[in-house]
């Protein structure tokens, strides 16, 4: 055998050994019943053609590799950002395992989440008993200060009423009557994780402002600005960068749903099931803020509508990345808080502009395909235009007509956007056809783009959730001027790597 107890091989080298190559070849020949290699290659080549692209884009029902997750994932992520809060999934155990593993694989950090394990009997008779017993067990085992409940497909299909179920659980003393149990209905078969995030943030506000002690009227202003970061795989670093800006400006604020600690706990001998997060008393007091800003419009639409119904000023942005995106965020914060933008931050902006100018000879005229969530693609495309890069294909599976119109307006405002295309509601198999028929110099998205990279040979730059196959990207910001500088370096490194690999004629020491 190619390995022994004294010589343990990694799977990469192990499966390259002759024994395994022969084993896999026999499996392929005897059990897969596949067409010949020639026929397979013929079809692969056809799938790269314009004719196939037209057929691909004509499909109406089938979805192949959509770049989105389901609502409860966003709800679990949102709930994790509050003080000693336990995300609770009313549904099947397998769903909760998926949400936990998805977050753990990205953040390389344990993700706390429980489920009441609905099975066949609950699917027929309803999940009331599961929820009552689940809340009782979760409260006693994990001792949270709050349990935030979301739903999966099973609970939604049969119509479980979370408000009534939670009230019944409190009547049966599964949890004390004054114990916070906010909830959000998050059916997996509509919307996406960004909608689930929005629903949970709204549900938590709604609990403290309308349900805990009846409807609460706004009182005297506390002078604070509420900031809702949105669903963000780089929240660990981005939230810290955001707090640095706010502290430097002297702004009094509440960061609503702050996961920067719970998804980046230290290894120091102490296990932290909960760490950091927005204080529950700050959420109660958030109704008295001067204003609420959503940093990602498509992650906070319903929440901001609810906040506005309480008479509070609101504003929404689209993932503050790049020069103009960060400018818009800082100017809005300055406007609403009355605090000036200090010289130290203005100098950061100048350094970013200087870096862009230093490298414009390498970025100018390059073409990129961008995929991801609505706010990310908008902001990324805006930053690419600032760099002189053409965002040739902008694709977002979980977007609609509003986003499409916003994207087209952005591209129309720049000469670098003249030949760019917007693809709302399309999936990564659509993007594959686009890259073969109208190739770009780079792909910008998540780890799911690695299959496109391998198929097309176009280099992938990982800049959005999820990043499973690389480590610690989330520990460095993408928002703000410093985040834009880091993003610029990521893009330039891939450009230079391609230049170095393409020819010995230009294998230069200096770029």
Which residue in 63, 76, 113, 153 is the catalytic one?
153
pTM of the model: 0.96
**pLDDT tens digit sequence for 100-112:** 999 999 999 999 9
Can you give the residue ranges of every domain in the chain? 71-211, 225-343, 360-502
Average pLDDT, stretch 263-277? Answer: 96
What are the structure tokens assigned to 38, written together? 């020639």
Which residue in 40, 157, 190, 489 is the catalytic one?
157
What are the structure tokens assigned to 431, written together? 């993007």
The domain 71-211 is classified under which CATH number: 3.40.50.1980, 3.30.830.10, 3.20.20.70, 3.30.420.40? 3.40.50.1980
318 vs 320: CA distance, rounded Å: 6
- On whether the CB atoms of residues 86 and 142 are closer than 8 A, the answer is yes
The CATH superfamily assigned to 225-343 is: Nitrogenase molybdenum iron protein domain (3.40.50.1980)
Average pLDDT, the chain: 96
The domain 360-502 is classified under which CATH number: 3.30.930.10, 3.40.50.2300, 3.40.50.1980, 3.40.250.10? 3.40.50.1980
**pLDDT tens digit sequence for 301-317:** 999 999 999 999 999 99
127 vs 106: CA distance, rounded Å: 31
Q: Which residues contact 173 (CB under 8 A, 6 or more apart)?
A: none
In the predicted structure, residue 80 carries a pLDDT above the cut 70:
yes
Question: Annotated catalytic, 394?
Answer: no
Return the pLDDT at 74. Answer: 98
Strand 253-255 relative to strand 225-228, pairing: parallel
Question: Annotated catalytic, 157?
Answer: yes
What are the structure tokens assigned to 97, written together? 């395992």
Q: Which residues contact 190 (CB under 8 A, 6 or more apart)?
A: 71
Return the pLDDT at 505. Answer: 84
Return the pLDDT at 63. Answer: 96
Containing 437, the helix (H) or strand (E) segment is helix 428-437
DSSP codes, 150-186:
EE-HHHHHHT--HHHHHHHHHHTTSS-TTS---EE--
Same fold yes or no, 71-211 and 225-343: yes
């Amino acid at each position: 055998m190619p390995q022994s107890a004294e010589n343990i091989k990694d799977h990469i080298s192990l499966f390259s050994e002759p024994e395994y190559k022969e084993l896999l070849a026999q499996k392929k020949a005897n059990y897969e019943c596949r067409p010949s290699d020639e026929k397979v290659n013929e079809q692969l080549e056809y799938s790269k053609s314009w004719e196939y692209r037209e057929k691909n884009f004509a499909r109406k029902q089938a979805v192949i590799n959509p770049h989105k997750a389901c609502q409860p994932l966003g709800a679990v992520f949102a709930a994790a950002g509050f003080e000693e809060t336990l995300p609770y999934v009313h549904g099947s155990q397998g769903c909760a395992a998926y949400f936990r593993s998805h977050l753990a694989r990205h953040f390389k950090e344990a993700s706390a989440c429980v489920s009441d394990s609905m099975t066949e009997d609950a699917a027929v008779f309803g999940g009331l008993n599961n929820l009552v017993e689940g809340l009782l067990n979760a409260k006693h085992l994990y001792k949270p200060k709050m349990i935030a409940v979301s739903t999966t497909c099973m609970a939604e299909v049969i119509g479980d009423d979370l408000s009534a179920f939670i009230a019944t659980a409190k009547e049966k003393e599964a949890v004390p009557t004054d114990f916070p149990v906010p909830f959000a209905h998050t059916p997996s078969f509509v919307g996406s994780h960004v909608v689930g995030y929005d629903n949970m943030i709204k549900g938590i506000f709604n609990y403290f402002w309308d349900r805990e002690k009846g409807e609460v009227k706004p009182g005297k202003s506390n002078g604070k600005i509420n900031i809702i970061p949105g669903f963000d795989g780089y929240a660990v670093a981005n939230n810290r960068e955001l707090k640095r800006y706010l502290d430097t400006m002297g702004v009094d604020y509440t960061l609503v749903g702050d996961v920067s600690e719970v998804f980046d706990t230290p290894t120091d001998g102490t296990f932290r099931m909960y760490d950091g997060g927005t204080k529950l008393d700050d959420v109660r007091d958030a109704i008295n803020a001067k204003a609420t800003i959503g940093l990602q419009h498509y992650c906070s639409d319903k929440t901001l509508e609810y906040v506005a119904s309480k008479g509070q000023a609101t504003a929404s942005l689209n993932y503050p990345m790049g020069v103009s995106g960060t400018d818009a965020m800082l100017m809005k914060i300055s406007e609403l808080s009355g605090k000036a933008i200090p010289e130290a931050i203005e100098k950061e902006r100048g350094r970013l502009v200087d870096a862009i100018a230093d490298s414009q000879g390498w970025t100018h005229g390059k073409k990129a395909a961008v995929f991801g969530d609505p706010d990310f693609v908008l902001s990324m495309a805006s930053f690419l235009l600032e760099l002189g890069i053409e965002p040739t294909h902008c694709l977002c599976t979980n977007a609609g007509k509003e986003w499409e119109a916003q994207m087209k307006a952005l591209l129309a405002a720049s000469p670098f956007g003249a030949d760019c295309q917007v693809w709302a509601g399309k999936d990564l198999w659509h993007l594959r056809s686009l890259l073969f028929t109208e190739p770009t110099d780079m792909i910008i998205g998540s780890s799911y783009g690695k299959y496109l990279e391998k198929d097309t040979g176009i280099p992938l730059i990982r800049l959005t959730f999820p990043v499973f196959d690389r480590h610690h990207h989330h520990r460095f910001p993408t928002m703000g001027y410093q985040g834009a500088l880091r993003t610029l370096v990521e893009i330039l490194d891939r450009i230079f790597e391609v230049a170095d690999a393409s020819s010995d004629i230009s294998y230069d020491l200096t770029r």
